[in-house]
Amino acid sequence: MSEATGTKTIRLAEPEGAATESIADLIRRMIVLLGEDPGREGLRRTPERFEKALRFLTSGYRQDPETILNGATFSVCYDEMVVVKDIELYSLCEHHLLPFFGRCHVAYIPSKKVIGLSKVARLVNMYARRLQIQERLTNQIAKAIEQKLNPEGVGVIIEARHLCMVMRGVEKQQSSAVTSAMLGAFRENKQTRDEFLALVRGKND
């Protein structure tokens, strides 16, 4: 088993008993503890379905940025801002294992190298498909691009709704969270930062 922190992958020991007990077994026990019958028709295959879904939703643990970005960088004489906006993302809050979802906007200013546009979305998906908090997710995306491209700057903004706020707790259905990571020119230059924000908002003035 591995857990990624930033762009590095750390090997972790498997919990005791993990080799013999599946996620489906644990869910079957949980259903009993909730007061339900895992043997009734509607729930009979739920543990296996849940395990399959959870493994898909956390598939980012079995990926790394080098594999995704390898062979997708190109030498180009271009030094203007590159923006990929409105990337849909779905993740799981590590505090409650409930989904959060929204949009991610990524920008960078190249320094001799650019990256295939679809790879930016794949990078977002990789980090989103882990147990996350939005703040860490935002930073991980920005730092991965910075380390791979060494650009003049990177900016990442995520706007998301969290079901742990919508379905439980304060139950505020219209609430959303916005996080940003600004590196290099995006942090140091207000004009660069303002241009990124205007492009994300759909304004060019």
- 105 catalytic per annotation: no
- 36 counts as catalytic: no
Range of the domain at 128: 73-200
* Residues 190 and 96 grouped into a single domain: yes
The predicted structure's pLDDT at residue 164: 87
Which entry of 134, 140, 152, 195 is annotated as an active-site residue? 134
Q: CA-CA distances (angstroms) from residue 135 to 23, 79, 193?
A: 28, 28, 19
What percent of the chain is helix, strand and coil (3-state, nearest 5)? 40, 30, 30
Q: pLDDT by residue for the chain (205 residues), tens digit each?
A: 444 445 455 555 555 655 678 999 999 999 999 999 999 999 999 999 999 999 999 999 999 999 998 888 899 889 999 999 999 999 999 999 999 999 999 999 999 899 999 999 999 999 999 999 999 999 999 999 999 999 999 999 999 999 988 887 766 766 789 999 999 999 999 999 999 999 998 755 4
Active-site annotation holder among 21, 88, 94, 188: 94
Catalytic (active site) residue 164: yes
Q: What is the CATH number of the domain that holds 177?
A: 3.30.1130.10
DSSP character at residue 175 = -
> Is 205 contained in some domain?
no
How many domains does the chain contain in total?
2
What is the CB neighbour count within 10 angstroms for residue 138? 22
**Per-residue confidence (pLDDT) for residue 5, from 0 to 100:** 47
| Residue 134 annotated among the catalytic residues of the structure | yes
Per annotation, catalytic residue among 3, 66, 95, 188: 95
As a whole number of angstroms, the distance between CA 8 and CA 6 comes to 6
67 occurs within a structural domain: no
Which candidate, 134, 137, 135, 138, places its Cα nearest to that of 163?
A: 134
Catalytic, out of 132, 140, 162, 195: 162
- Return the number of other C-beta atoms located less than 10 Å from residue 96's C-beta: 15
